[in-house]
Structure 1
Amino acid sequence: MSNSNLVCPLCQCSTPRHYHTDERRQFWQCETCSLVFVEPSQRPLPEQEKALYDCHQNDVFDIRYRQFLSRLATPLLARVKPNSSGLDFGCGPGPALAAILTERGHHISVYDPFFAPCTIVLQDHYDFITCTEAIEHFHQPEKEWNTWMTLLKPQGYLGLMTGLVQSPSQFARWHYKLDPTHVSFFSRETFEFLAHRDGLTLEFFGSDAILLQRK
């Protein structure tokens, strides 16, 4: 099992180590940032991704979905100033978080490569950026992360929701890795690496909500 041609899609480290193999895919872990990622040749094609995303039922007015998103929305709303500008990145077909934040008086733009692909919104700057249950889908998360760092204003917030890798044994039995569109798996150590590298403060809320602030 060779890693001679592999580089980490987040930090570009060239010495990943084998992490896990199941019946469908191989997973590698970066020695520098701890990102776990799928063997590049086993990532889904865009049309395969879109077909699966079209099956998602993310209703903007679904009470249970809003409660789920409140795990990030609540701490974020407690910190941002009134009438702030925000970008919901990877909003999907039902941008419920954008609706929640708009209802609270903030000015929200949305972007999604499949469902809201207008790139004009990526030319502005924002007081906060959110990305809920999308970062695990990124094939080259370095690209999106660098975009966020460009768009985020000084003292701006980056709010994320994603399942977190805890250990090899947890990963082996983790349902989260079974979704074929999940290809990048973050851990607390990965976010600690990014926060330290890029000068961000970092807070975790529960098992899957992460809030970073540009200093």
Structure 2
Amino acid sequence: MSQESVNQSCPLCFTEKRSPFHQDRREYFYCPTCHLVFVPPKYFLSPKEEQAQYDHHENSVDDPRYRRFLGRLFTPLSERIVPGSNGLDFGSGPGPTLSVMFEEAGHKMAIYDPFYAPDLKPLQQQYDFITASEVVEHLHQPRQELDRLWSCLKPNGFLGVMTKRVINRQAFSSWHYKNDPTHVCFFSLETFQWLANHWSANLTVSGDDVVLFQKSNSSDSD
């Protein structure tokens, strides 16, 4: 194990004390404070390599199966927002679909993606809700990015996150989700509870891979 890996602190809560969790072609570490599982930066792909992976995605707004998949986040979130809400789809990908689904439901949507919609102006606005579907596992700096999203939420606003969750070490060892080279952060329910405490947010767990955070009426980003 390299000295660089030994000195790697948690990218979410910045705790320096962490332990080896698993090793295959990459090393994975576990943070005892926020329970994030993560890989060290030496395993990060370059932006060009990362986009090449995403360019292979064939998700389409016209694909009913993809819409059903996104419905796991769309449905519980749409039940909680008022008509005509203003939303942001963060990490919209090469074929924005979740934003279209919310627009079809009568909401106003902006999109941001570092590769496919890199204009930063949407990240300087305030929103009633923000979606991050299959995004957080890709974040190289999750604390910075998630705090930035939280600061873009209006009071009482919702942040909806879809990502597959870490269950335990044994399940992780054979988990296909970790094999994607663009996946570098892996969240558990305990990690999301840590985030809710960090933000003083209300956390709702919806199914196996969706959580909703609601900002309090007087909440500010830390």
1:12 to 6, 10, 14: 14
1:180 equivalent to 2:181? Answer yes
Say whether 1:136 aligns with 2:140.
Answer: no
Letter in 2 for 1:161: M
Structure-2 residue corresponding to 1:198: 199
1:119 deviation in Å?
A: 0.4
How many angstroms apart in 1 are the aligned matches of 2:59 and 2:22? 31
The alpha carbon displacement at 1:196 in A equals: 1.2
- Deviation per CA, 1:46-97: give whole Å up to 9, x if none: 1110000000011011100000000010010100011000000000011110
Determine the C-alpha separation between the residues in 2 that align with 1:186 and 1:18: 16
Counterpart in the other structure of 2:63: 62
CA distance in structure 2 between the partners assigned to 1:51 and 1:42 by the alignment: 16
Compute the displacement of 1:40 (Å): 1.6
Alignment partners' CA distance in 2, 1:117 and 1:42: 24
TM-score of the aligned structures, taking structure 2 as reference length: 0.94
| In 2, Cα distance between equivalents of 1:168 and 1:156 | 34
Give the secondary-structure state (helix, strand or coil) at the position aligned to 2:66: helix
The CA RMSD measured in Å over matched residues stands at 0.9
1-structure distance, mates of 2:17, 2:97: 39
Partner of 1:169: 170
CA distance in 1, matches of 2:76, 2:176: 27
Amino acid at match of 1:98: S
Under a length normalisation based on structure 1, what TM-score does the superposition of the two structures give? 0.97
- Return the alpha-carbon distance in structure 2 between the equivalents of residues 162 and 149 of structure 1: 17
Q: Among the aligned pairs, what percent are the same residue?
A: 49
Unaligned runs of 5+ in 2: 217-222
Letter in 1 for 2:52: A
Give the secondary-structure state (helix, strand or coil) at the position aligned to 1:117. Answer: coil
Report Cα offsets for 1:111-155 as digits up to 9, x if no partner.
000000000111110000000001100011011111111101100
Q: Shift of residue 39 of structure 1? A: 2.0
SS at structure 1 position matched to 2:92: coil
* SS in structure 1 at match of 2:146: helix
Paired residue type of 1:212: F
Equivalence map 1:1-215=2 (5 Å)? 1=1, 4-22=6-24, 24-215=25-216
> Following the alignment from structure 1 to structure 2, what is the Cα–Cα distance between the partners of residues 14 and 172?
24
Report the AA paired with residue 168 of structure 1: R
Deviation, 1:4, is 4.1
Gaps of 5+ in 1: none
2:95 is paired with a residue of what secondary structure? coil
Query: More deviation in 190-199 or 3-12?
Result: 3-12
- How many residue pairs get aligned? The number is 214
The one-letter code matched in structure 1 to 2:19 is R
Alpha-carbon distance in structure 1 between the residues aligned to 2:201 and 2:94: 30
1:18 is displaced (CA, Å) by 0.5
Which amino acid is 2:30 matched to?
A: Q
Runs of 4+ in 1 over 6 A off after TM superposition: none
Q: What is the CA–CA distance in structure 1 between the aligned matches of 2:139 and 2:211, rounded to whole Å? A: 17
Q: Residue type of the partner of 2:38?
A: F
Counterpart CA distance in 1 for 2:163 and 2:73 is 10
Equivalent residue letter for 1:120: K
